[in-house]
Chains A and B, each alone.
Chain A
Amino acid sequence: MRARALPAPAGRGARLRLLPAVPLLTVAVLTVPVGAGLLGTALPAIGVMPALGHAAPGLGPFRDLFAWPGLADALRLSAVTGLAATALALAVTVAILASWSETRAFGAIRRALAPLLSVPHAAAAFGLAFLIAPSGWAMRALSPWATGMERPPDWLVVQDPWGLALIAGLVAKEVPFLLLMSIAALGQTDARRAATVARSLGHGREAGWLRAVFPRLYAQIRLPVYVVLAYSMTVVDVAAILGPTTPPPLSVQIVRWMNDPDLALRLRAAAGAVVQLALVAAALGLWRAGEAGVAALGRAWVRSGRRGPRGRGPAALSLALAGLAAGVVLAGLGVLALWSVAAFWAFPDAAPEALTLRSWARHGPELARLLATTGAIAGLAALAALVLAVGCLEAETRYGLSIRRGGLWILYAPLLVPQVAFLPGLQGAFLTAGTTPGLVAVTAAHLVFVFPYVFLSLGDPWRAWDARLATVARSLGAGTGGVLWRVRLPMLLGPALTAFAVGFAVSVGQYLPTLLVGGGRVATVTTEAVALAAGGDRRAIGVHALAQTGAALLPFALALALPRLVWRNRRGMQDA
């Protein structure tokens, strides 16, 4: 905590005096579980795991890890797929915004976001795999009449050794996330005026947007971009479906070791998790350096003042890319929906031989109960995270109390450390604290993973809010509370709802924390879906993927629609 000597205003009531404590409280509440999780990763990595009879620290697990012949390839795969997916996703996002923000077509893009974001990563990956596999839908639609094939060809399309399918899957899912973050942030960039000025100076739409708006926007979505990078490098479920296997990316291999019946391999897994953390940190550093390079080039480009060619070529290309990314996810979801009602469906038939509601009849009655539990946990966890995040940010605004860099690393650690290695320690903390496994414990565990997303979704737009508005409000007689409740929060309705929706979706997607901390007492749509996915039954996967999508859809739809509805008569807020 950086406590500047600002005395709390006297006589303002308990609520206000509580506020300066919120950042400290947040760090304290999250440090214990996160610290326990990190310790639970670090100790086995240096060979300490008393329950298995390993007590003496040593470098054995690391030696063991470095002796694994696939390590170099696994590291390369993690780094290359993560960096490539992030760069591509950002490029597509920027291209769409440059060409289409503030156009009529952008409304359609915005409306498509909620369903795209709600599709769970694993479900999108399943869908993509079934679209592009040699026995997938694309080939079925074309066979045998166009390809002449009665049997699927032996092509290595999915699980290719370069990770191309994995990169494609990640890009398709991350573009909507970055777009959502950008839309929430655009309201604080004064984008409309900047773009207008740039165009009045004779720049084309894209060139003007890139020069005038992008630098301001990127400053606000930098943290979400880092999250995309870290996520792409550590993701397990998508990589296990689309990624190569000989060897797999490091994250997948860590899960394999962790799940190996030979319990001693958990030490090697922990060492792998530490290496992965270092790899992610290195990649983030590399990205940072890249930012500086791009910024230098960009400044030179801006100064050059060249107007460049004009035309609708870039716009068409960016729309095609956006359509492709969206099409992949939506077609994947459509395929899963079709599988959920499919009887036998053989290659090369373009559709199942019959439709049946058997899978829905089997799983349907259970689903309603699971959805209620899922929604309750996600709603509570996201709300708690939002309250803490607003409290932290408001304390920063009023008292200059911000969470220091060390504290921030603690908060973001759950996003960077592989979950499977992190959870045994986290679980141990809950057990030692004597919590009864159940809804409350699970919600608390989810908060550890939900808070960083909510905090970073809200943080940049919050700080970018034009503080002169507060001055105006104060001069009109509003107190600090009035500024927050009547000016700032209403104006930041979009970012706040977006942060809540992201947090909600993150909570919906949690499998291991729910299972382990809940002790099997708490079943959600996701615990059910992941367990069934292990069996590869596409019908059951289809049913549960649709249920997961439905669970996350409402908050995203609200986050995208509500601010426009509330601010329909405020032209200056139409970007919010």
Chain B
Amino acid sequence: MIRTLPAALVALPGLALAEPDPADWDAVLEAARGQTVYWSAWGGSTATNDFIAWVGERVAEDHGVTVEHVKLADTADAVSRVLAEKSAGQDTGGAVDLIWINGENFAAMKEADLLFGPFAEDLPNWRYVDVEGKPVRTDFTVPTEGYESPWAAAQVVFMYDSADMEPLPSMAALLDWAKANPGRFTYPQPPDFLGATFLKQALYGLVDDPEVLLQPADEADYAAVTAPLWDFVEELTPHLWRQGRAYPQSGPRQLQLMADDEIDLAISFSPGEASAAIADFRLPDTVRTFVSEGGTIGNASFVAIPYNASAKAGAMVVANVLLSPEAQAHALDPEVLGYGTVLDMGKLPPAARARFEEVPLGVATLPPEALGPTLPEPHPSWMERIEADWIARFGTGD
């Protein structure tokens, strides 16, 4: 019954009209005025919280929309709420209006018909988005199809303490360095997203033909392709922090280890994170970043709207403001967030482009030309199997 609901909505134009149509943007702005948007977003970073508050001020001033940041410890809490509402049959008037969502949660919510859309490519500011150069139309290789709107570009970099070491060009160099410096490197414990990303990045550095990673893992010889990865991890693990008997549970806790000088090297999914953390006293000012030769994995951060959101129009307005040159340049500032932009500088009017040129890069941030090529995320099936294998081999004791 639930599967047929969208079809029923199309068949009943009266009902369908109740949903705001992003193609008619003036009507969206009209409907949004006076709405309150409850934006569920990870609340673990003071910098992000401040940025969301800033966005709230902008949309309140320009569009009369109030933003309430619902601070989460985990995006799954927002998914839980929407899922419970669907279970209880509450298909309108839901509590969550907008979610800062990651690729895996997006894929799961899209699969379970929990999202509103498509809306993203109808947003007025979509015309500035760098659809060619940035991974904004797929999320973990799942086509976004307008069900989520990008707001920040991310790419894997390694943070290192320049007081203790030099950049490492390859996974082989990383392994050699780890052997020479036991206990000075670790990664967040998979299935943590960042830890899994380290495994995927390592896989990219170790396979002969990266093309195979874009296809489902079942269509390739999974065992043969991942054999070099497992050899690498087996060899690396005894030289990790705590000999691999304990791992930091999240990216932030890995960062804390670096601040405490327990490790010298850490993976990050944000080229500007190190600079922002130095500005915030959360990392020593000797930390710098490097990327592996051959490129690193890139993706984007998105926002999505639940299928039963109460303030869909307001949520779209917020998504659109997030794509504005003003907000994108603000987020790029390492004093604010240090997040990469998803906009194409070539598409921007000169005045807007100037905003970006004024933003200082930050002490530990690589200039765009030094970031190297962006590699696409492997097909999710690789991640699922690699995570499961890692947990079985390294995550459940000796």
User: Which residues of A approach B to under 8 Å, CB–CB?
Assistant: 49-53, 68-70, 73, 133-135, 151-152, 154, 156, 158-161, 240, 244-247, 256, 258-263, 342-347, 359, 362-363, 423-424, 427-428, 431-432, 437, 511-512, 515-516, 519-521, 523, 527-528, 530-540
* A-B pairs under 8 A by CB, number: 194
Q: List 11 A-B contacts (CB under 8 A).
A: A154-B242, A154-B243, A159-B242, A161-B397, A259-B76, A519-B38, A523-B70, A531-B72, A534-B42, A534-B43, A534-B250
Chain B hits for A161, CB < 8 A = 245-246, 397
Chain B hits for A537, CB < 8 A = 44-46, 252, 280, 282
Q: With the chains together, A158 CA to B257 CA distance in Å?
A: 13
> Is B83 within 8 A of A533, CB to CB?
no
Q: With the chains together, A69 CA to B96 CA distance in Å?
A: 36
> Is A247 within 8 A of B73, CB to CB?
no
Chain A hits for B4, CB < 8 A = none
Q: With the chains together, A519 CA to B309 CA distance in Å?
A: 12
> Is A515 within 8 A of B77, CB to CB?
yes
User: Which residues of B approach A to under 8 Å, CB–CB?
Assistant: 2, 38, 40, 42-46, 50, 68, 70-77, 79-81, 83-90, 95-96, 102, 104-105, 107-108, 112, 182-183, 189, 191, 241-243, 245-247, 249-250, 252-253, 255-257, 259-262, 280-282, 284-285, 384, 391-392, 394-397
> Is B44 within 8 A of A532, CB to CB?
yes
Q: With the chains together, A49 CA to B80 CA distance in Å?
A: 13
Q: A246-B247, A537-B44, A537-B252 are in contact. List 4 more A-B contacts (CB 8 A).
A: A73-B396, A244-B246, A431-B85, A536-B44
Q: With the chains together, A536 CA to B88 CA distance in Å?
A: 35
Q: With the chains together, A528 CA to B245 CA distance in Å?
A: 31
**Given A246-B395, A344-B284, A523-B71, A512–B77 Cβ distance below 8 Å?**
yes
> Is A534 within 8 A of B84, CB to CB?
no
Q: With the chains together, A432 CA to B397 CA distance in Å?
A: 43
Chain B hits for A515, CB < 8 A = 70, 72, 77
**Given A152-B260, A346-B261, A536-B250, A70–B74 Cβ distance below 8 Å?**
no
> Is B112 within 8 A of A51, CB to CB?
yes
Closest 6 CB pairs of A and B: A535-B44, A519-B95, A531-B43, A261-B104, A520-B70, A70-B396
Q: With the chains together, A260 CA to B73 CA distance in Å?
A: 13
Chain A hits for B392, CB < 8 A = 69
> Is A428 within 8 A of B88, CB to CB?
yes
> Is A261 within 8 A of B102, CB to CB?
yes
Contact of A540 among B46, B183, B246 (CB under 8 A): B46
> Is B71 within 8 A of A531, CB to CB?
yes
Closest to A255 in B: B74
> Is B74 within 8 A of A534, CB to CB?
yes
Closest to A133 in B: B260
Chain A hits for B104, CB < 8 A = 261-262
Chain B hits for A359, CB < 8 A = 46
CB distance from A38 to the nearest CB of B (A): 15
CB distance from B105 to the nearest CB of A (A): 5
Closest to B43 in A: A531
Chain B hits for A258, CB < 8 A = 76, 80
Closest to A263 in B: B108
Q: With the chains together, A254 CA to B285 CA distance in Å?
A: 38
Chain A hits for B252, CB < 8 A = 534-537
Chain B hits for A343, CB < 8 A = 281
Q: With the chains together, A96 CA to B85 CA distance in Å?
A: 50
Chain B hits for A135, CB < 8 A = 257, 260-262
Chain B hits for A530, CB < 8 A = 73
**Given A245-B246, A516-B84, A521-B38, A260–B191 Cβ distance below 8 Å?**
yes
CB distance from A208 to the nearest CB of B (A): 46
Chain A hits for B38, CB < 8 A = 519-521
Q: With the chains together, A521 CA to B284 CA distance in Å?
A: 38
Contact of A431 among B90, B107, B112, B249 (CB under 8 A): B90
Contact of B73 among A159, A345, A431, A533 (CB under 8 A): A533
Chain A hits for B247, CB < 8 A = 245-246
> Is A344 within 8 A of B281, CB to CB?
yes
Contact of A154 among B45, B83, B87, B241 (CB under 8 A): B241
Chain B hits for A263, CB < 8 A = 79, 83, 108, 112
> Is B284 within 8 A of A346, CB to CB?
yes
Closest to B193 in A: A261
CB distance from A248 to the nearest CB of B (A): 9
Closest to B70 in A: A520
Of B75, B77, B395, most buried by chain A (CB within 10 Å of CB) is: B77
> Is A246 within 8 A of B73, CB to CB?
no
> Is A519 within 8 A of B397, CB to CB?
no
> Is A519 within 8 A of B81, CB to CB?
yes
Q: With the chains together, A246 CA to B243 CA distance in Å?
A: 12
**Given A424-B80, A521-B95, A151–B394 Cβ distance below 8 Å?**
no
> Is A536 within 8 A of B255, CB to CB?
yes
Of A53, A424, A520, most buried by chain B (CB within 10 Å of CB) is: A520
Contact of A428 among B84, B394, B396 (CB under 8 A): B84
> Is A156 within 8 A of B261, CB to CB?
no
Of A52, A261, A528, A540, most buried by chain B (CB within 10 Å of CB) is: A261
Closest to B46 in A: A540
Closest to B3 in A: A53
Q: With the chains together, A569 CA to B74 CA distance in Å?
A: 54
CB distance from A129 to the nearest CB of B (A): 10
Closest to A258 in B: B76
CB distance from A247 to the nearest CB of B (A): 5
> Is B396 within 8 A of A69, CB to CB?
yes
Closest to A520 in B: B70
> Is A261 within 8 A of B242, CB to CB?
no
Chain A hits for B182, CB < 8 A = 154
Chain A hits for B112, CB < 8 A = 51-53, 263
Q: With the chains together, A523 CA to B245 CA distance in Å?
A: 37
Contact of A246 among B44, B46, B259, B394 (CB under 8 A): B394
> Is A432 within 8 A of B88, CB to CB?
yes
> Is B81 within 8 A of A520, CB to CB?
yes
CB distance from A101 to the nearest CB of B (A): 41
> Is B246 within 8 A of A347, CB to CB?
no
Chain B hits for A261, CB < 8 A = 75-76, 79, 102, 104-105, 107-108
Chain B hits for A156, CB < 8 A = 242-243, 245-246
Q: With the chains together, A532 CA to B42 CA distance in Å?
A: 9
Chain A hits for B108, CB < 8 A = 261-263
Of B95, B241, B255, most buried by chain A (CB within 10 Å of CB) is: B95
> Is A427 within 8 A of B261, CB to CB?
no
Q: With the chains together, A346 CA to B257 CA distance in Å?
A: 11
